[in-house]
């Protein structure tokens, strides 16, 4: 259902060749995330599709949408940046790699790190604004599905990260509607 919603949304503004490019990324993401499930029990592919749908609602380009669909394949599926480059080009590979690097930064964040320094680090490591857009859409979907995480400490940590890092980051980018929902 979400897949149909995404394709219908993209049909409204995307040319056929660009839409076909996104469909290729969708098929690749579906194959690589096959047999993976989220903590809620939902198929994992629902997450990148929802992430892509947020960006499609913003009328983002095919490269950004493809990157959203593929944003977890390096981290969760053992796909390399080189493989993404071969199949989808350097721009998509760089965006997916950028989102992966931010995710790895999150894991290394020390409890006492100042949120402002972390935001600056994320901004500095993101050479393309679309990396941040994919990451914000990713975080937005993760926050919408936060109740499926049973570990209360992990839920609180994710909520705190969101309030201290991603809500202010979306505010700085002028995306108040995302900031409001994240808060």
What are the residue numbers of the active site? 75-76
For 70-107, write each residue's pLDDT tens digit.
999 998 899 999 999 999 999 999 999 999 888 777 76
Q: What is the pLDDT of residues 135-155, one digit of tens each?
A: 999 999 999 999 888 899 989
Note whether 67 and 55 are within 8 A (CB): no
Tokens 């993976």: give the residue: 36
């Amino acid at each position: 259902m979400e897949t149909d919603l995404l394709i219908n949304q993209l049909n409204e503004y995307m040319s056929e060749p660009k839409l076909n490019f996104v469909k290729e990324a969708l098929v690749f993401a579906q194959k690589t995330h096959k047999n993976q499930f989220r903590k809620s029990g939902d198929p994992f592919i629902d997450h990148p599709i929802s992430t892509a749908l947020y960006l499609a609602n913003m009328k983002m380009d095919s490269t950004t949408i493809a990157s959203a669909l593929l944003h977890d394949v390096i981290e969760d599926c053992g796909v390399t940046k080189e493989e993404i480059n071969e199949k989808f080009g350097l721009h998509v590979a760089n965006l997916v790699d950028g989102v992966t690097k931010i995710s790895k930064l999150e894991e290394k964040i020390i409890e006492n790190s100042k949120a402002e320094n972390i935001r600056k680090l994320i901004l500095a490591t993101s050479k393309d604004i679309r990396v941040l857009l994919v990451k914000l859409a990713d975080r937005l979907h993760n926050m919408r599905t936060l109740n499926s995480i049973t570990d209360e400490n992990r839920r609180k940590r994710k909520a705190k990260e969101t309030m201290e890092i991603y809500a202010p980051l979306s505010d700085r980018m002028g995306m108040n509607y995302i900031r409001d929902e994240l808060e």
